[in-house]
Structures are given as structure tokens and as C-alpha cells.
Structure 1
Amino acid sequence: MKLVSRSQWGARDYRLPNGATPYSRPRRGVKLHYLGTAYTDRAHDRCDDYVRQIQAQHMDGNGWSDIGYSFVVCTHGYVYEGRGLKRRNSANGNTTLNDQDYAVLLMVGSSGLTKPTTAQLDGARDAIEYCRKSGPAGTWLGGHRDGYATSCPGDAVYAWVKAGALRPTAPQEEDPMAGFTKQDIYDAVWKTDQVAAPDTAPDRKTNTNWQPQSYLKDIGNRVRSLTVTVAAQSAAIHALAEKVGSGVDTDTVVAAVEKAIADAVVKVDIDVTQNQES
């Protein structure tokens, strides 16, 4: 949690005795608030100025003994200590409601910036968990409008509260392999490695995507190559045996051998391909 203490944001001293009033009972939970006025986002180095402005309004305008909230969360996710964990807040509507729950303000308005930022929701969740763990506060969670006639904390914040005030998650990076099947990967690896090194079988050390079926296909191609070679040699031997000594000229023998080899290669190629596809 990015907690900003009172001394860090330059808080004024609270007035005694009311500003030091402790909670008289365990807190039921946490109520969330918004500003209820127009708000324009600002650079973070100006957020502490605004928190001091809220305190001044509460003390000088409302006549309260301190800033009314337990904690204030800016749009950058920083949690400013208001009255903190031990001193009773004055923002929930009346003494009973103030004593019942912590008051956490999100710096968003009724106009201008009305929707909390992702960082702000993270900070608000930090504040809620801090109140529960260190307050301690119970698990109840609501908005200022729960139990008091007001539009606070605004529809956007209240919808988040009613949905459980879940911590927002960072956008997930797009998976570059999304949509690709194992077969797609296998085919791509096979094509790449065959082009890169047609006479060398890749292994797992050089290619972590190499699959067992890659070895099988490689073996199949090598068997096919050997089968074609053997068939061609056998055809040549038979052709020579038939023509030599029959009185035909050399050119005729050569042509017969070449045809026999070509026919053998085509036949073996068709047979092997059909076996692979079946």
C-alpha cells in the first residue's frame, strides 16, 4: 500500500477534544465516499494540496475538528491518512454511523472525473484491506448511501462496491501463439528445419518446439529415400540383365535402364505417400 502519512501530506493538527475521540466499538466494515462536487484530475504532486483543501473545508467550513474521512485515495493509487484507524471519522452522516464504519474517500466527483482509475481502485482496495487487518474492521462493505440519504459515493464507485470491490487486474499481454494448434506449430517447425538443415535431424537442444512426431516424419522420409534408391538400383539391374547380350546397341540399353529407374521411383513415391496419408 502506498500510504501517505499526515505529516507527509502536511495535515493540520486536529482540534481537541473531539478530534481525538476514539471508536467506542469494533468497526462493522468500510463505507466508500466520493467528493460530491466537480473534480478534475491532476498531477500527483498536486494531490496533497487537494487533501489539505478538503481538510480546510471540513475544519473551517463545516466546523469539524479534522478532515472527516479515515483515508483518502487519489487517482494515482496513493492512500492518504485522514483520521486513520483509531480516531472516529465524521463523514458517514451521524455519530452512530461514524462509529460503525470507517470512511474511505475516492477523489472522484459528481461531474468532471466521475469514474475511478485502475490505480485508484487498487489503492481503495489497499485501504479496505488495511482497515480490516489493522483496524480491525469486519467484512461489511458499502457506500455512504447505505443507511443515509445521499447519492454518495456516485454510481460508478457504488457499482464497484456492490460487485465486491474486487481488485482490478492488469491487462493481459496478447498471447502470440493464440489460435495456433500443435499441428500448426509442428508444420512450421518441420518446414523451417527442413529448409535450414535438410540433411540433419534437429534435436531438442537446438529446437525446444521439436515434437516426437517430427522424428517419425523425419524417419519416414529417410525410409522413403532409401526405398526409392533400392528400387532404382533393382530396376537398373533387371534392365541390364535383359538387354546386355541381346545384341542391342548401347544407347538402347541406357534408355531402357533410365526408363526402368524412373518408373520405379514414381511407383515407390506413390506407394509411400499413400501409406503416409492413410
Structure 2
Amino acid sequence: MAIDLVLRREWNARAPRGDYTQLDSTKGVKVHYTGGRVDEAIVSDHARCVALVRSIQAYHMDGNGWIDIGYSYVACPHRKVFEGRGLHHLPAANGPGLNAGHYAVLGLVGNAGLVRPPDGVLHAIVDAIEFVRRNGSAGKEIKGHRDGYATDCPGEPLYAWVRRGAPRPAGGDEGGGPPAAPPFPGRLLGYPPVMHGEDVLTWQSQMRRRGWELDVDGAYGPQSRDVCRRFQRQQGVTADGIVGPITWRLTWEG
């Protein structure tokens, strides 16, 4: 299935306290765990996952003095991937001198409570890895945090899985392919002039989930048009910068 990305605004992330360092490409990904106790109740209550991610960000910013959460992405038991620092931004969690080598992906398991990663966490980590390879110029390496840094992270169960090559759990990608597109809103989205509406917001949100850098503000202006053109060229359709029925469908299913 396509990645189920929880954007920063959707988990009510705090704004970073400074500018990220550009990360052009990496060798791959390093996998992490929280290092603390994770309440097993998060497996049946996604709201607890959201609260945990927010608490991790607060600890990293207020306790460590970092500009933001230290991870690139966070994987939860519901097979959702939280956007942390995101694509092409230097993480902080891999260790001094090691952050430029790999994106940092956290699985929401710890050293007590929820220790063994549920299948949803493993799937979500793989979803994140495939996402940064496809959209973030990440290489093929999949390492644990302890590879190159003195730490127990990501814990024995998760590290054993990493050393096996981070395979998907038995049953593979049971999601059944990309999600179906919502009904076409009935009007063409184009610029000029700037167009506003929930249909614009819906399209922008999905494009952002797919890794395209654009503002999710409900305003279809020059930035949205230019992203649309690049997406259309990628999909092999007419690159006119207009979101019509075909481009709308490909936004979800292409």
C-alpha cells in the first residue's frame, strides 16, 4: 500500500526553532527505538501514538536543546508514518558526526512495556524506508542506531529484524495497492488566478503525503501549478499544470 503519512500539522507538531541543515542524499536509514517504556495501550489507541510523538518532540527540543524532533520519520503500530524532520533535512538522532550518513526512522517500541515490534510498526518502518529511497535520495543501507554508535538502540527484537534485512512481516504488503482517489471535485484546478477551496487542500495534502514539497494552504497558485507540472511529467501525461480528472486520479493511484 502507499505510505500512510501523518503530516506535521496533523499531529500538531511544534515549529522548529531554526533552519534545518540540507541533506542531499544518504547511504540509507538507521532504525531507532525510544529507549524508554512504551505503553502497550498504543497498539489499540492511535491517539496515544500521537501523544507519544508529541512528547518525544518536546523532550528533544526542551531537554536536548535540539531545534526539532531528532527523527526523520516515526513508525507506529497502526502502520502510520509520522513526518518528523522529513525529506532532505539532517536528523539529530543518529549521533554526533553520524547524522549525515542516514535518515533516522523511529519505531514506537521501547525497552519496557511494548518491546517487541508489532507487524504494523515493521510495515510502517519499511514504508518509511521505501519512501525516503523513492523521494529522498536514500541509499540501500538499513542499519540500527547501535551500528557505529555506542547504544542499545534499537533494542534486541528490532535490531534482530534489522539484521535479517528488515523484511516485511509474513503476509507481505496486504494493503492491496494504492488507495482509491476520492471523487473528482468537478472543477479544474489551475493558475492563474489563484484558486481556493477544500478540493485544493485535499489535492495538496495528498501530494505532500507522496513526498512533493509544497504548501498545504488551500490556495492553488504558482507553486502548486509547478509541482503539478512536474508530477504530470513523471506520470507521462500532458504537463499543463491543471488538475483535471486524470491528474486527480493519478494523485492517489499513479
In the TM superposition, residue 169 of structure 1 has moved relative to its aligned partner by: 2.4
C-alpha deviation, 1:170, in angstroms? 2.9
* 1:109-130 alpha-carbon deviations (Å, 9 max, x no partner): 0111101001111111100111
Shift of 1:131: 1.0
Shift, 1:81, TM fit: 0.4
Q: In the TM superposition, what whole-angstrom CA distance separates every residue of 1:13-38 from its partner, at most 9, and x where no partner exists?
A: 00113xx2111x52001000001111
Cα distance in 1 for residues equivalent to 2:103 and 2:74: 11
Instruction: Determine which structure has greater relative contact order: mean sequence separation of CA pairs < 8 Å that are 6+ residues apart, divided by chain length.
Output: 2
State the Cα distance separating 1:46 from its structure 2 match. Answer: 2.2
SS at structure 1 position matched to 2:98: helix
Partner residue of 1:87 out of 67, 86, 89: 89
- Structure 1 gap ranges (5+): 172-278
Partner Cα separation in structure 2 for residue 111 and residue 50 of structure 1: 15
| Per-residue deviation, 1:87 | 1.0
The equivalences for 1:102-251 within 5 A come to 102-170=103-171
Give the alignment partner of residue 61 of structure 2, picking from 47, 59, 67: 59
The aligned residue for residue 15 of structure 2 is: 13
Amino acid at match of 1:79: V
Give the structure-2-normalised TM-score. 0.64
Paired with 2:87 and 2:119, the residues of 1 have a C-alpha distance of 24
From 57, 63, 79, give the equivalent of 1:77: 79
How far apart are 1:47 and its partner, in Å? 1.3
Task: Give CA-to-partner distance per residue, 1:197-249, whole Å, 9 cap, x none.
Answer: xxxxxxxxxxxxxxxxxxxxxxxxxxxxxxxxxxxxxxxxxxxxxxxxxxxxx
What amino acid maps onto 1:38 in structure 2? R
Q: CA deviation at 1:76?
A: 1.4
> Does residue 1:22 correspond to 2:22, yes or no?
yes
Q: Structure 2 matches for 1:17-56, cutoff 5 A?
A: 17=19, 20-23=20-23, 25-41=24-40, 42=42, 43-56=45-58
- CA RMSD in angstroms, aligned pairs only: 1.2
Q: Which has the higher helix share?
A: 1
Query: How many angstroms apart in 1 are the aligned matches of 2:53 and 2:113?
Result: 18
Q: Which ranges of 4 or more aligned residues in structure 1 deviate by more than 3 Å? A: none
**Number of corresponding residues:** 167
**Deviation at residue 136 of structure 1 after TM alignment:** 1.1
**CA drift at 1:48:** 1.0
Rg (Cα) greater in structure: 1
